């Protein structure tokens, strides 16, 4: 067994590795990360995760529910440390897995991967408590400076990914009837049982414009009279409930082509119109207090128009119009981000153009939320070749053209006001990727352990 495999085994048991080994690990991780672009390219299939925040036992639960490395390819969107009691073990385990299986693990930087923030929110104190000095904290912070700022997931399928997780005593197809048509989104619980499905529907230009497509009701308490949450999807009722009638399709079927997914910790920046601008940033530094790099790690989507000030004091709030324009200009079908606690573990907003994924159940051991990961499948229809972003293959389908200063049609069949700029824009249609959310709860209390009450500086003696 190599030193690295030995370290992985030790960390999986939630036991820290000795300081010289941390130093070596961080050195190797930096050598690996320095070669990565600010925006890492990741091929589907991949499982996308949000904040972990030092909840080591819940990270183990995540791997149990969503598959282990290297069988499952993972993309973690930052905030590995702070708040929880095991930031050290959580981050070092993920870092070991990154060094051991570089092509199966992608780590991007969160706003907590910073010297200033970790000094306030726990990671610094944890390192000093567990090692008797700040050396390990310092090594980790040097790694933080090299973490990528974002990732682009390419080659996503429009279909829900194949379910590769072995079920125990469950038939995943038994609980919900599947109507004819393509399943766009599936929600599974920790035991692998299907809790909800959404069908991809032909879109309809006369459908009412719904600004918020985020709410996905769970089948049991849903009002059957309620319209579908989005013009493009319908919630499939549980057996016994009447089916929701789809309005007749008045338009061509949606594209069978997905764009890339952009994954960042926080969100967009008013300084970034194009993904290539992210690539030009000098990321190898402490997270600045302002500017594009700061915004990518700190911003939040909100029900506003354009940009707004963030109550966090860093980054910005941004509205549906900002996301729609960004996704269109960059051939993105969805932005995936973390950074905000959502009680259901995931939250889709703005006609599914952005999703928040949150992977720390019962956050801070008291919030009572569930957590989720998002699985994206691989588009095998193209003979396995992955489409590149920014290509000019004419792969998008035109769905409407703006007339000067009038109402225009955008990707999802929603109408928005033209802005009287006199420019003419042609809008296109990219399908939302098929996706599966696995929702899970905190690890059982008995396995979680509690923090050491006294300093344990002599940890390894
Ligand atoms: Mn955050």
Task: Show pLDDT as tens, one digit a residue, over the chain (461 residues).
Answer: 789 999 999 999 999 999 999 999 999 999 999 999 999 999 999 999 999 999 999 999 999 999 999 999 999 999 999 999 999 999 999 999 999 999 999 999 999 999 999 999 999 999 999 999 999 999 999 999 999 999 999 999 999 998 988 666 555 555 556 665 689 999 999 999 999 999 886 544 444 444 333 333 333 443 434 444 444 444 444 555 454 555 544 444 456 788 999 999 999 999 999 999 999 999 999 999 999 999 999 999 999 999 999 999 999 999 999 999 999 999 999 999 999 999 999 999 999 999 999 999 999 999 999 999 999 999 887 655 555 544 333 344 444 444 343 333 344 433 344 443 433 344 456 889 999 999 999 998 655 555 444 434 434 43
Catalytic residue ranges: 112
* pLDDT attached to residue 296: 98
Cβ contact 254:429 at 8 Å: yes
Neighbours of 178 (CB within 10 A): 12
- CA of residue 251 to ligand 1 center, whole Å: 40
Phi, psi (rounded to 5 degrees) for 87: -60, -40
* pLDDT attached to residue 74: 98
CATH of span 21-215+252-445:
3.60.21.10
- CA of residue 297 to ligand 1 center, whole Å: 7
- CA of residue 266 to ligand 1 center, whole Å: 6
- CA of residue 5 to ligand 1 center, whole Å: 30
Cβ contact 202:253 at 8 Å: yes
The domain spans of the chain are 21-215+252-445
| CA distance linking residue 389 with residue 93, whole number of Å | 32
* pLDDT attached to residue 169: 55
- CA of residue 21 to ligand 1 center, whole Å: 28
- CA of residue 22 to ligand 1 center, whole Å: 24
Alpha-carbon distances of 8 from 18, 57, 113, 360, 426, rounded to whole Å: 12, 15, 21, 21, 51
């Amino acid at each position: 067994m190599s030193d690295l495999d030995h370290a992985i085994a030790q960390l999986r048991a939630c036991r820290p590795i000795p300081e010289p080994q941390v130093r070596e690990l961080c050195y190797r991780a930096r050598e690996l990360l320095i070669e990565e672009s600010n925006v890492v390219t990741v091929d589907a299939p991949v499982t996308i995760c949000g904040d972990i925040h030092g909840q080591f036992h819940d990270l183990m639960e995540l791997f149990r529910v969503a598959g282990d490395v290297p069988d499952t390819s993972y993309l973690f969107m930052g905030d590995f440390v702070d708040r929880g009691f095991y930031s050290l073990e959580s981050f070092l385990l993920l870092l070991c897995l990154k060094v051991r299986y570089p092509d199966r693990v992608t780590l991007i930087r969160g706003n907590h991967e910073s010297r200033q923030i970790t000094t306030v929110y726990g990671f610094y104190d944890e390192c000093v408590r567990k090692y008797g000095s700040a050396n390990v904290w310092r090594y980790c912070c040097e790694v933080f400076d090299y973490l990528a700022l974002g990732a682009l997931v390419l080659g996503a399928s429009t279909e829900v990914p194949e379910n590769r997780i072995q079920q125990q005593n469950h038939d995943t197809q038994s609980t919900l009837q599947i109507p004819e048509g393509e399943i766009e989104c599936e929600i599974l619980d920790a035991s692998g049982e299907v809790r909800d499905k959404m069908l991809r529907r032909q879109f309809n230009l006369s459908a009412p414009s719904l600004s918020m497509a985020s709410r996905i009701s769970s089948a049991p308490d849903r009002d059957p009279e309620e319209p579908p949450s989005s013009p493009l999807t319908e919630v499939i009722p549980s057996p016994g409930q009447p089916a929701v009638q789809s309005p007749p399709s008045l338009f061509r079927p949606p594209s069978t082509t997905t764009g890339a997914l952009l994954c960042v910790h926080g969100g967009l920046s008013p300084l970034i119109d194009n993904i290539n601008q992210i690539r030009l940033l000098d990321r190898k530094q402490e997270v600045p207090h302002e500017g594009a790099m700061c915004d990518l790690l700190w911003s939040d989507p909100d029900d506003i128009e354009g940009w707004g000030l963030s109550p966090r004091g860093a980054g910005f709030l941004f509205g549906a119009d900002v996301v729609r324009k960004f996704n269109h200009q960059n051939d993105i079908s969805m932005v995936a981000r973390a950074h905000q606690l959502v009680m259901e573990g995931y939250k889709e907003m703005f006609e599914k153009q952005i999703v928040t994924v949150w992977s720390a159940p019962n956050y801070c051991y008291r919030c009572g939320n569930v957590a989720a990961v998002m699985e994206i499948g691989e588009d095998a229809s193209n003979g396995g070749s992955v489409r590149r972003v920014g290509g000019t293959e004419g792969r998008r389908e035109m769905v409407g053209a703006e007339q000067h200063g009038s109402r225009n049609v955008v990707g999802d069949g929603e109408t928005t006001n033209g802005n009287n700029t006199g420019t003419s824009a042609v809008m296109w249609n990219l399908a939302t990727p098929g996706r599966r959310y696995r929702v899970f709860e905190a690890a059982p209390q008995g396995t979680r352990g509690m923090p050491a009450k006294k300093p344990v500086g002599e940890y390894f003696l």
